Amino acid sequence: MDFAELLSTTASKLKPDSAMLLFSQTTKRRNRDVFYDYRNSSDIIYLTGLNIPDIILYISSDKKIIFYLNFPDPGQERWTGKMITPEILQSRFKLEKDNIRESKNFWNDLPEILKNKRSLYIDFNMQNDDFVKIIKAVNDLNKNNRDATCGPDQLLHVGEILHEARVIKSRDEIEKIQRAAQVTQKGFIGVMKFTRKPGDEILYEYQIKSAVESIFRNSGIMDIAYPTIVASGNNANYLHYADHSRQIQRHDLILMDAGCEYMGYASDVTRTFPANGKFSESQKEIYKIVLEAQKNAIGLCQIGNTFEDIHNKAVHTVVSGLWNLGLFKEIPDANDNKERIQPLSIEEVIEKKYFRIFYMHYTSHFLGLDVHDVGKYYIDGKSRLLQSGMVFTVEPGIYLSEDYDFIPEKYRGIGIRIEDDILITENGHEILTKGIPKEIKEIEEITA
């Protein structure tokens, strides 16, 4: 990717007489003098490819680009390794020497680089003191405007420019997501063979988690895209389950939601498979409904359809399947769990959203530099039309808690989700994660 050209293109999209400021993520302390592995802000990675802290990026509508960063310090380098040099940035981004400045000069430079700018683009999600300091600097500029200078009088969210640009992936971005998907496939297939040790010893959830992340890293991937979820038995009914301390039981289903990150770009996959290599009949009944819902929803992944179309198709399939199994005969009233409701039709269940007790999340989300990537799902109050270059997930699920005494006992404790990564193309779609088994026969063959 030509980042110098991308920076220039971004500058050309700004309003006249405006500027954009982007701040890299700060390092995060884990405890005492130990820090979490560093990961930069996705907007900085998108525009520069840089994954180093303490960068401030200035972009103006007249195409002036300034990088502020910590210059190499021999004392610091003795502890953490070589730091990027101004000369490297000059060459990489085709900039003059004065466009690469030390971070310590930023706040002194700020009044000058914002002088006579009418608008300022900034990330409204900034969670540190820098946001307040910028607002103060803008106010100070506007207080002292008797010398014919002034600061911005309009604040705009960087998402207006950057986040919409990030919705449609370039060929380079798609290739990075494809690489992440390929390694994720290796991880899932490897783990499906790993649910039991020799001698049929059942493992713990954290051992499955460790196994898939090890495969990612042994395949040349440094980072996971998000905390891996390995949920066995009833734990699969907790959407963001994070404990991983349970020993997996022989007849459990294992729900694994995992993905790796390649050069900042994420994959995101969920599969549900039997610990003992074979689905029970009741597990199979629920699994078939989720798989059918996903296939039906993916069938609508093409230009001109909407995210609502995809979700509604998945919902209708799930509701119809559960209705036929009798799971909507009597359900709790959301306003009073002691009361019971007897829906009269599938249409009533959908219209009144009774299905949310079994399927409570949306079917799709954008995927890219963030696992839940930026982008609007509704424009002018209408569900967004799908466009070529969009990448998102399709992930229906059914969650039947062991506490649901209003459903047949044989279904209680079953939680199933199936998730794939989809690229919209000019001719339809491509399932980027299609190599990961999800048919019952395929899964039983590999897990057995």
Residue position matching structure tokens 């994420």: 266
**Length reported for the chain:** 448
* CA 99 to chain centroid: 33
Taking residues 165-180, report their average pLDDT: 97
146-164 burial: b if 16+ Cβ within 10 Å, else e: eeeebbbeeebebbebbbe
Burial class (CB in 10 A: 0-12, 13-18, 19+), 74: exposed
pLDDT in tens, 389-431: 999 999 999 999 999 999 999 999 999 999 999 999 999 999 9
The model's pTM: 0.94
Helix (H) or strand (E) holding 139, with range, is helix 129-143
Nearest residue to 378 (alpha-carbon basis) of 308, 298, 299: 308
Q: Is the CB of residue 20 less than 8 Å from the CB of residue 66?
A: no
Long-range contacts of 346-351 (CB under 8 A, 24+ apart): 346/316, 346/319, 346/320, 349/319, 349/323, 350/315, 350/316, 350/319
Q: Which of 128-137, 287-296, 408-417 has the lowest mean pLDDT?
A: 128-137
Query: How far, in Å, CA of 139 to CA of 133, rounded?
Result: 10
Taking residues 63-78, report their average pLDDT: 93
> Which residues have C-beta within 8 Å of that of residue 381, sequence separation ≥ 6?
none
pLDDT in tens, 271-285: 999 999 999 999 999
Query: How far, in Å, CA of 10 to CA of 238, rounded?
Result: 41
- Report the topology of domain 168-447: Creatine Amidinohydrolase (3.90.230)
> Is the model's pLDDT at 198 over the cut of 60?
no
Query: How far, in Å, CA of 43 to CA of 369, rounded?
Result: 8
Instruction: Give the single-character DSSP code of 419.
Output: B
The token pair that represents 408 in the structure block: 């047949």
Taking residues 97-105, report their average pLDDT: 95
Residue positions annotated with a catalytic role:
33, 240, 257, 268, 361, 365, 372, 395, 399, 417, 419
Q: What is the DSSP string of 187-224?
A: HHHHHHT-SEETTTEEPBHHHHHHHHHHHHHHTT--EE
Q: 3-class SS at 129?
A: helix
Residue position matching structure tokens 């009798």: 326
Query: How far, in Å, CA of 208 to CA of 229, rounded?
Result: 10
pLDDT in tens, 309-364: 999 999 999 999 999 999 999 999 877 777 899 999 999 999 999 999 999 999 99
Q: 3-class SS at 52?
A: coil
Domain 3-165 indexed as CATH 3.40.1080.10: no
Residue position matching structure tokens 């971005």: 173
Instruction: Give the single-character DSSP code of 53.
Output: S
Looking at the chain, the domain(s) classified CATH 3.40.350.10 span: 3-165
